[in-house]
Amino acid sequence: MSTVAATVTLPAEWRDFLALTKPRVMSLVVFTGLCGLLAAPVPVHPVIGFTAILCIALGAGAAGALNQWYEADIDAVMKRTSKRPLPAGRMDRQSALHFGVGLGAFSVILMYFAVNLVAAVILTASILFYVFIYTIWLKRRTPQNIVIGGAAGAFPPLIGWAAATGDVALLPLLLFAIIFLWTPPHFWALALFVKTDYANAGVPMLPVVAGERTTRTQIGIYTIPMAAAAVAPWPLGLTGPVYGLVSIAATAVFALLTIPVATRAAGEGDAMQPEKRLFKYSVFYLFILFAAVAADRWLA
């Protein structure tokens, strides 16, 4: 980790603090957390439910802020992230650190007092995992960074469920597994078409370290357990046919989009359309799966 070159002479604007929380990433986190909460068999008071989702969002925002605080040097050399508040010189690193720690502590304390201990403990684990295990330990050291680090993004449905029930059960664990196994093909599809960015930043993403062929094979391999986890809730009797049919159809499309990515070889100047298509669909896929989990509970 190195310091950011830009000199900060003005206090950051509130919009920069908002940008620090990665609002776009947060939307998926909030959605999966909400679906975990709605899929629980226990009705939850709307205010407590709202507070739980707010805490998940604030916790994710804190993790995002601490990630940007630590990775300001990487962000500065990557085109995709160079406009963020720290590399762009709109905020000093100490403000980002204080904001991230303060927001994280606030989210956990509020979760404990307003919701319950189990949800607060899992929220703490998710923030610490993202910051210490993924950002600080794995990301710069191993191409397995997003495989293990994917767990950090998989916690929200567990937290949502725990907020409603005060407990953890098999269905939220399967929802955790779906996000965990979905993360590698999702990020490796992205890494295939922004490989140069990662290489310039010295981040050992799989295409940079092991090459494109290995990455494509791994995307294909990881799609198999992901598909199994995605479809499993129905045959296991944890959801009804609404989720079952949606998951089978959505997973089949995912598999169809994965096949060309896993089998082809991109030439010089390739537009990487199949990879971009898979990446875009993978986001939609997660939304549709989790919406189906919640809908299945409410339609049953």
Partner 1 sequence: MTQDETPLPGTDAHTREVRARQASRARVMALLLGAFVILVFAIAIAKMTGGAAH
- Give contact residues for partner 1 (rule: CB under 8 A): 6, 9-14, 42, 44-48, 51, 54, 88-90, 114-117, 163-167
| Structure tokens belonging to residue 45 | 């008071």
Nearer to partner 1, 15 or 280 (CB): 15
Nearer to partner 1, 12 or 66 (CB): 12
Amino acid present at 184: P
Do 156 and 32 touch, CB atoms closer than 8 A? yes
Amino acid present at 51: T
The nearest distance, CB 45 to partner 1, in angstroms, is 3
Nearer to partner 1, 161 or 198 (CB): 161
Nearer to partner 1, 2 or 9 (CB): 9
The nearest distance, CB 164 to partner 1, in angstroms, is 6
170-193 and 241-263 helices cross at what angle (nearest 10)? Answer: 30
Give the span between the Cα atoms of 153 and 231, in whole angstroms.
Answer: 20
The nearest distance, CB 119 to partner 1, in angstroms, is 9
Nearer to partner 1, 14 or 298 (CB): 14
Do 96 and 65 touch, CB atoms closer than 8 A? yes
Q: Write down the residue that tokens 């896993």 correspond to.
A: 262
Nearer to partner 1, 24 or 45 (CB): 45
The nearest distance, CB 117 to partner 1, in angstroms, is 8
Do 37 and 161 touch, CB atoms closer than 8 A? yes
Give the span between the Cα atoms of 221 and 88, in whole angstroms.
Answer: 38
The nearest distance, CB 247 to partner 1, in angstroms, is 27
The nearest distance, CB 35 to partner 1, in angstroms, is 17
The nearest distance, CB 268 to partner 1, in angstroms, is 35
Nearer to partner 1, 28 or 114 (CB): 114
Give the span between the Cα atoms of 113 and 51, in whole angstroms.
Answer: 10
The nearest distance, CB 89 to partner 1, in angstroms, is 6
Helix ranges (DSSP H) in the chain: 14-20, 23-39, 46-70, 72-77, 93-114, 117-128, 145-165, 170-193, 195-201, 206-209, 212-231, 241-263, 273-299
Do 103 and 61 touch, CB atoms closer than 8 A? yes
Three-state SS for 140? coil
Give the span between the Cα atoms of 163 and 37, in whole angstroms.
Answer: 7
98: number of Cβ within 10 Å: 13
Nearer to partner 1, 56 or 232 (CB): 56
